[in-house]
Amino acid sequence: MADDDKDSKTEDPTAKKRADAAEKGNTPNSRELSIFATVLATFVYLVFFLPDATGHMAEMLRDIFEQPDQWKIDTGPDVISLFVKLGWACAALLAPAFILFMSFGIASSVLQNLPTPVLERIRPQASRLSPIKGWSRLFSLPGLVEFGKALFKVVVVGVILFFVLRSEYFGSIDAMFSDPQTIMVRMMTSMRKIIIVMLVATAIVAIADLFWTRYHWFTELKMTKHEIKEENKQSQGDPFVKSRQRSVMRDRARRRMIANVQRATLVIANPTHYAVALRYVREENDAPVVLAKGQDLIALKIREIAETNGIPVFEDPPLARSMFAQVSVDSVIPSVFYKAVAELIHRVYAAQAKNKRVR
């Protein structure tokens, strides 16, 4: 069942899906990049900070042991003073390492994802204590990938270190019987070689893991077509409901338009398929305004209301079709129709004037 569900997830995750996952703390995060940052911080500390710091520490210890008369420890304050001095020396030795490890660790995390507080990560979950769940995680694809990365680092780093340090074997034995400062120099040289090898190995693993982590995260977030439809319903609304709302709005607009026909000055029709109701009052607008338009049943309704209210209806099929296609309700007619409509309005005014004279 789970395999079938994964096979059906063929669609790329939407932006909302990715955002929801990030809110829950589900973000692509490469642990190997953090390890690489730690090794890099170690290398920087070893090359740029440790030599000077160990030199100062060695000088202070030499002064203490070579000239013990300068350091009295007869009283408690004397002992405290000695420990304070040693403490400051140790702090000067270790503080750069602490700052480097913290800075590089934070940088490796921020470069992957911006830090956000997620309470979901610390919420107690019974699945984390389940041996069955732990066993399945251990032998899952991510677990095998983690095992492969660890095996690569152990084997590759071990092999490279073997060949790198093999040439140092006899030199290291000779250094054991030489001056202590010479021993420290040779140890520092060997440590640098070891760190460089580890740095290269962890860099290769970190780059590969960075791409794998993002690919695996993206694959796990893939969605089925049904999930995408459901998400669209939640974000944009149910299509059936929206269609119903649009239908109600069109019906209300149609009723309001039909009610405005009573205020029209004339209606242009074709004779049953199209009808356009116009209103022209000099005090209101400089050009005629379209109050209503429609075709088929709505056109017949417009004509019926116009005839009931004594509004002139002019049958002009070409003009009716053109105006229906180009004009919109509650807007002034385009200038291309001015001449044809003006003639009809003139006929309306002439008929109204004639009726007044007859009366």
User: Do 136 and 276 fall within a single domain?
Assistant: no
Q: How far is CA 238 from the centre of its chain?
A: 25
Looking up tokens 């074709």, which residue turns up?
270
Say if residues 272 and 299 touch (Cβ distance below 8 Å).
yes
Domain presence at residue 21: no
pLDDT at 26: 78
User: Do 157 and 293 fall within a single domain?
Assistant: no
Domain presence at residue 315: yes
Secondary structure class of 24 (helix, strand, coil) = coil
User: Do 93 and 195 fall within a single domain?
Assistant: yes
Q: How far is it, in rounded angstroms, from Cα 306 to Cα 258? A: 10
User: Do 72 and 210 fall within a single domain?
Assistant: yes
User: Do 171 and 69 fall within a single domain?
Assistant: yes
User: Do 278 and 202 fall within a single domain?
Assistant: no
Structural domain including 331 reads 256-358
Q: How far is it, in rounded angstroms, from Cα 219 to Cα 224? A: 12
User: Do 278 and 154 fall within a single domain?
Assistant: no
Task: Note the pTM of the prediction, 2 decimals.
Answer: 0.52
Q: Final residue of a domain: which of 166, 193, 220?
A: 220
Domain presence at residue 126: yes
Burial of 276 (0-12, 13-18, 19+ CB in 10 A): buried
pLDDT at 103: 92
User: Do 66 and 112 fall within a single domain?
Assistant: yes
Q: How many domains would you assign to the chain?
A: 2
Q: How far is it, in rounded angstroms, from Cα 322 to Cα 113? A: 59
Please give the biggest Cα pair distance in the chain.
Answer: 139
**Residues of the chain falling short of pLDDT 50:** 1-4
Domain presence at residue 185: yes
Say if residues 294 and 302 touch (Cβ distance below 8 Å).
yes
User: Do 160 and 39 fall within a single domain?
Assistant: yes
Say if residues 294 and 264 touch (Cβ distance below 8 Å).
no
Report the CATH number that the domain containing residue 284 is assigned in CATH.
3.40.1690.10
pLDDT at 90: 84
pLDDT at 14: 82
pLDDT at 4: 47
User: Do 266 and 209 fall within a single domain?
Assistant: no
Domain presence at residue 142: yes
pLDDT at 99: 92
Domain presence at residue 96: yes
User: Do 141 and 54 fall within a single domain?
Assistant: yes
Burial of 145 (0-12, 13-18, 19+ CB in 10 A): middle
User: Do 202 and 267 fall within a single domain?
Assistant: no
